[in-house]
Structure 1
């Protein structure tokens, strides 16, 4: 069998390290290092835009080909990476591998994350996250010329959790105001658990005395599920339903069938917003700040733009529409940071349908997997001019339209399985960075 996978497999025709066709050892190694995205990128630079990365998988570092293939609903998600990892939860729009289910759920939830809906909850985002963050930073800021150190990433995590808590669970977790990181600890423990059980699937659901991370992960799952279940039942008792994403989901109905979400389905969708919409936002904000501080001239240009259009002291908080309309350089900084430091850099996997597919003249049968490494696509030398330079100006110089550049950036992916929360994320990034740069 090893000889077949190495010599006779349809994937043997693709370039790549000699050992990737010998078993899953390389995949396990990449997962354990925590640097899978960088390992794949270095290999793409060596072997080209299409290469073999496993017994049954090839990687494509070509956004046009990726969108043609991977964004096709006929190419489904591998269940071992989605449904089985998150199997304690009911199927939801993020984890499901069923294209019919996803299409139905997307019809129901897409209006919830439309710009029309998000503008209705912008004040909630400001009051639950942006304003508390500014208040905390002002409290930490020294009144003299002395320096003070603090973990800004933790504060960005608190902001993201407090916003999602208020929007998807009906109440803020108040991480920024109280410093209580209990829910964040559950979240982190559950992700450690899913990483371990993805590599060692036989440990799933087990409590092993010498691996305390397993017990913590199981406890975290139970706690998160209980939290979500309580959240989706409480708003129904209110005389005046709140204006938030949870209430939008409660009120939503499939335009074709008229069906809504059950309590269990609401809990699952709320949890997936916590999973998909907190670490990504906090990572993105942290990398934006890091990029600006690492490039002082970009930082100063952004400060000048913000203070020119919104001089202190009023308004107290700049809203999204104003920032979007008057701060093109901020938009460029955000887009370039999302390209340069994608908050979720690993590869996206899809299964080739039964009829197979031809890739660069080579036929690959159904059942094999295609991976699209987001970090590699965003740093591809075959698509980007000076890809390893942080250059927000590339989004403004006019040589390539901004819309075309966005298509080549797979941070939020695209197609029917693209990130449903991209609008919410962009609103959070604009609101936070505008007011952070303006006040500090």
Structure 2
């Protein structure tokens, strides 16, 4: 069993029963954290000097369309309507070949790992069983931990609120072939259209199917012009369908009552603040959730329009929420203060342990605790933007960036060390990515 001793780091455990940060050694044995103590001496371990490092849980991204790495930054000026019309409904997404999904998922996952994101929910729109197989293979080859959320094709016949088409048959086959154990890096979820993008009975059927399969169901819900009038959460609650195994993405324009019902009955919220503010989903629901008893989580969503790291999402979520409340004070003729409305510590929790809870993985990851899987990252405190460290939590949330990520471990295995991904032959694989990009663009109206 391989042993790795991370010595003398500034530990950010992200747990309720310990200080927010302290100096300690951390021992990894096999896939798990076996010890966190002030000093650990062991002879048969690889030793990493972390005296100049912040050691923290890997980031958890609860909503990402991973394949879109092949068309990175194509939509810097796109609204939500432009994005949907260009990517789906017969657009770029429908032109993908199975091999395109492999390379898109591989590079999308590697981008996440390079940025210190050790777990993602890959929200998919699967065109065929072959596409699913290749998407899974791309995630597996990257070494990331992921929830592979199996979704319906992006065709318009599936994505409308009258659609009665069901897409779960192949998901059950995928489960039987690839997800026979929960003790693996990849777990299965169901990406459903939900009551705002399919018929009500279809949404109910797909939720019940996910529960029969004992997996998470995730859906886009509660945003845009329809978000406040659809009352989808209330309808789900009235039908006794809410629960912790449902994940709702965006939720920008739902009511306070809807959030209160989630707080009472369960469910998780994925806020993707940068894309939401840009594209027109609505104002990020961070504060709306918190004020009604729900702790949100964070996601990147689409790298067509933003970068694939969580540092940016933490800043957007934090400052957007602070600005919302500060403006309220100013409108009332009062200066904000003495403390700001939301803390850096809270945002870091949304990006780690709360994300793990949302993905039903908090028994494995999301915090640094003995017995949990060793999904962790090291940030270099000697980098100019982090030196000297005064407040480690504030430094991670407010000033750190992807260039500070020195090392990344997933289930005890190093996937990045000394600032470099440990993944060979990237140049050759990059040619496949370019080919995928050229193929999908050549067959769509964007060319």
Structure richer in helix, relative to its length: 1
TM-score by length of 2: 0.24
Which protein is bigger by CA-based radius of gyration? 1
TM-score by length of 1: 0.24
